[in-house]
DNA sequence: CTTGGCGTCGTCC
DNA sequence: TGGACGACG
């Protein structure tokens, strides 16, 4: 009787563990990503120790990515270029490209897009987690693979050359030799008769294939973690790098967690992790199992408490959203100490630079993803303040002047000039950071067009799925007359943040899409101009743009020559009869920027 | 110019 | 809703 009770309880626990869910979650993480991007561009650097720096004027610039050769010398992120040279004299430092006097990350974003596109050929459920990471839900592809392939377990061993199992004997780095992984992992493979573990082995075969495809098609290596949820997959991915993959099954959670530092777990790398460590006097995630749900909730709150309670048992309900493009597009710049922005002119200049970059990226985004941002948030950090201030305004069209103007007004409201010397504004306290971010995207367009990327990623058969099972399910005939707020593609798993024990209904068809309409509402200013007559026409164009914006701004209608208007280029009050002269200033500004592009 | 600089996402209120 | 803040890459 008592035994059967215990048995029942054990079953309940097993079901609650994510291993019991049968889900397969993978994190793909590119190896030293920016370095690989630059090495692809400059193949002569391939076998050299290498790091990426931005802004090399001060102390040789800051390092933001380091390859594995240079890491051997102790070079790491956040070092100055100078310091890296001291540690590794042979290191090659590649600078981040600059445009408009700021770092330009577009190369890396594009490369990231290439990777996401390859990934989307393998499963319809992908979440872009960062510029170089994506979570994949391989639950369905694994099922399909099992249903369409008769395999014997020996085949696994041959296929899984770069695969580790977290917490196994050979899993620490004590053996660096080429010990035969098939033998060293053999025991685990043999004893892995639970279906949860079997699906992870199958997943490893698929992931190996995915990684090979990425290498062949875009030329980058990556590492991967293979498990049942995001937390475990992320943890596993970091265990063996570069160019390797790690399985972390539920059965290995306890042994792995007994030595895993709290801060290594996703979301515990910051203040919360420190709090947990300090309040409970523990170091490793596994030690959290000693505490009851009640105690954890008392100490850390209801939500965080139950999250911790499950987390330390390998359970994590975090949803994998279906999205391979960003939900916001932003750009910003710091102006530390000596370079802080002290004058209105300086602030306006940098607003102009940032707005131009933003509009450029937004326009590319619109053609690529048939969507339009509806709002801009400007963040700025006044000297002396602990944190930055944010103000949001509507973005009716992709127009640089409008963004500059509204941002300037926002900054002026939150940060009044303290002194006004000789007709130009001077703040005694400067601006240390400005950031512009566009968001609230709406899908747009007429007809049932989809972007190229969406078509290729969602509508096609998964690459390793046999022809027997079809995932395609195109919803037709639905009328969409307005632009629709961008939402993630979903109709799949029901995942709650509470530990409900629900059998996942994994229906066969998983790829549905938003019905979108084709849409081309934005005027392309000067798009037909040739390079030759560009400058000749430029002035006119600038003037027209400025006037156009002035008139379209409700509170800046020009009535007579002596009225002061808010210039939409800079937000400054300008008398109408000096407006033209004032615009010369903006014209000069625009030429300045053109010259910086080259 | 002390963990930098630039960029994303999610939660809380 | 927007805005502050945390966490991450
Ligand atoms: N604080 C950070 C962290 C990362 N990155 C950029 C540069 C990295 O190349 C890329 C990916 O970050 P990762 O943390 O994944 O680091 P790497 O890919 O460079 O190395 P690893 O092989 O350890 O993943 O993001 C950055 O600019 N600033
Ligand atoms: Mg990486």
Q: A21-30+107-171+183-257 has which fold?
A: Alpha-Beta Plaits (3.30.70)
Atom index in ligand 1 nearest the CA of residue A68 equals 22
Which residues of chain A are under the pLDDT cut of 50? 1-14, 154, 173-185, 420-423, 448-450, 452-462, 465-481, 490-582, 584-585, 587-588, 591-598
Question: What class has domain A33-102?
Answer: alpha beta
Distance in angstroms: CA A189, C1' C5: 45
Distance in angstroms: CA A421, C1' C9: 43
Query: Among A28, A31, A32, which is best to mutate for testing ligand 1, by the most ligand atoms less than 8 A from CB?
Result: A32
For residue range A80-94, what is the model confidence (pLDDT) as tens digits?
999 999 999 999 999
Instruction: Give domain A329-484's CATH superfamily.
Output: DNA polymerase, Y-family, little finger domain (3.30.1490.100)
**Beta-carbon contacts of residue A244 (< 8 Å; ≥ 6 apart):** A162, A163, A164, A223
Is the shortest CB-to-strand distance from A327 to strand B under 7 Å? yes
To the question of pTM greater than 0.90 for the whole model, the response is no
Q: Which one is catalytic: A17, A38, A127, A133?
A: A133
On strand B, nucleotides with any atom < 7 Å from a protein CB are: 1, 3-12
Ligand nearest to the CA of A112: 1
- A63 and A79 in contact (C-beta within 8 Å)? yes
In this predicted structure, what is the pLDDT of residue A588?
46
In this predicted structure, what is the pLDDT of residue A222?
98
- Delimit the CATH 1.10.150.20 region(s) of chain A: 2-13+262-311
Ligand 1: centre distance to CA A275 (Å)? 26
- Delimit the CATH 3.40.1170.60 region(s) of chain A: 33-102
Distance in angstroms: CA A155, C1' B8: 40
In this predicted structure, what is the pLDDT of residue A425?
58
Is the shortest CB-to-strand distance from A374 to strand B under 7 Å? no
Distances from the Cα of A448 to the Cαs of A9, A425, A443, A513, A514, in angstroms?
52, 52, 11, 11, 9
In this predicted structure, what is the pLDDT of residue A18?
84
Distance in angstroms: CA A363, C1' B7: 19
Q: Which residues line ligand 1 (CB under 6 A)?
A: A 29-34, 64-65, 77, 131-132, 241-242
What is the Cα–Cα distance from A564 to A556, expressed in whole angstroms? 9
Give the three-class secondary structure for A61. Answer: coil
- A355 and A511 in contact (C-beta within 8 Å)? no
In this predicted structure, what is the pLDDT of residue A152?
56
Q: Is A133 a catalytic residue?
A: yes
Q: Measuring from atom 17 of ligand 1, which residue has the nearest CA?
A: A32
Q: Measuring from atom 24 of ligand 1, which residue has the nearest CA?
A: A31
Question: What class has domain A2-13+262-311?
Answer: mainly alpha
For residue range A27-86, what is the model confidence (pLDDT) as tens digits?
999 999 999 999 999 999 999 999 999 999 999 999 999 999 999 999 999 999 999 999
Ligand 1: centre distance to CA A229 (Å)? 22
User: What ipTM is given for this predicted complex?
Assistant: 0.98
H-helix or E-strand containing A225? strand A222-227
- A223 and A237 in contact (C-beta within 8 Å)? yes
């Amino acid at each position: 009787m008592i035994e059967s009770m215990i048995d029942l309880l054990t079953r309940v626990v097993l079901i609650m563990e994510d291993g019991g869910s049968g889900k397969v979650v993978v994190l793909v993480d590119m190896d030293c990503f920016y370095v690989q991007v630059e090495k692809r561009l400059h193949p002569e650097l391939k076998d050299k120790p290498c790091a990426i720096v931005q802004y090399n004027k001060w102390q040789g610039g800051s390092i933001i990515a380091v390859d594995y050769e240079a890491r051997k010398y102790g070079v790491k992120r956040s070092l100055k270029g100078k310091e890296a040279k001291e540690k590794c004299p042979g290191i090659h430092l590649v600078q981040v490209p600059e445009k408009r006097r700021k770092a330009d990350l577009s190369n890396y974003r594009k490369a990231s897009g290439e990777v996401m596109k390859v990934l989307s050929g393998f499963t319809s459920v992908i979440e872009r987690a960062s510029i170089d990471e994506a979570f994949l839900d391989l639950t369905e592809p694994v099922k399909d693979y099992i249903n369409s392939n008769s395999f014997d377990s020996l085949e696994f061993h041959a296929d899984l050359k770069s695969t580790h199992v977290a917490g196994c004997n050979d899993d620490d780095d004590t053996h660096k030799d080429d010990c035969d992984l098939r033998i060293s992992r053999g025991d685990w493979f043999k004893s892995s008769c639970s279906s949860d573990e079997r699906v992870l082995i199958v997943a490893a075969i698929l992931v190996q294939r995915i990684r090979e495809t990425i290498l062949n098609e875009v030329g980058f290596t990556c590492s991967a973690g293979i498990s049942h949820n995001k937390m475990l997959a992320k943890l596993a991915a970091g265990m063996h790098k570069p160019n390797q993959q790690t399985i972390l099954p539920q059965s290995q959670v306890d042994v792995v967690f007994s030595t895993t530092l709290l801060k290594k777990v996703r979301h515990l790398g910051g203040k919360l992790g420190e709090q947990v460590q300090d309040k409970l006097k523990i170091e490793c995630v596994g030690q959290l199992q000693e505490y009851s749900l009640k105690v954890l909730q008392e100490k850390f709150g209801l939500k965080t408490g139950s999250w911790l309670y499950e987390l330390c048992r390998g359970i994590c309900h975090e949803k994998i959203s279906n999205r391979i493009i960003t939900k916001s597009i932003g750009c910003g710049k710091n102006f530390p100490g000596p370079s802080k922005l002290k004058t209105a002119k300086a602030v306006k200049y940098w607003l102009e630079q940032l707005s131009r970059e933003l509009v450029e990226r937004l326009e590319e985004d619109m053609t690529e993803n048939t969507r339009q941002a509806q709002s801009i948030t400007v963040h700025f950090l006044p000297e002396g303040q602990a944190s930055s201030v944010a103000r949001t305004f509507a973005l009716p069209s992709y127009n640089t002047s409008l963004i500059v103007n509204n941002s300037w007004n926002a900054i002026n409201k939150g940060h009044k000039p303290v002194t006004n010397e000789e007709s130009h504004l001077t703040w005694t306290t400067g601006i240390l950071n400005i950031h512009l971010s566009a968001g609230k995207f709406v899908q747009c367009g007429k007809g049932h067009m989809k972007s190229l990327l969406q078509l290729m990623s969602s509508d096609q058969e998964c690459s390793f799925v046999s022809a027997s099972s079809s995932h395609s399910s195109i919803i037709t005939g639905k009328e969409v007359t307005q632009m629709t707020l961008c939402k993630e593609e979903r109709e799949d798993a029901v995942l709650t943040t509470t530990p409900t024990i629900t059998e996942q209904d994994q229906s066969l068809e998983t790829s549905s899409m938003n019905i979108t309409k084709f849409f081309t509402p934005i005027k392309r200013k000067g798009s037909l101009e040739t390079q030759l007559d560009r400058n000749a026409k430029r002035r006119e164009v600038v003037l027209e743009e400025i006037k156009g914006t002035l008139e379209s701004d409700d509170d800046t209608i020009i009535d007579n020559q002596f009225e002061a208007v808010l210039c939409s280029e800079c937000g400054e009050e300008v008398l109408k009869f000096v407006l033209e002269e004032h615009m010369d200033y903006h014209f000069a500004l625009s030429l300045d920027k053109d010259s910086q592009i080259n």
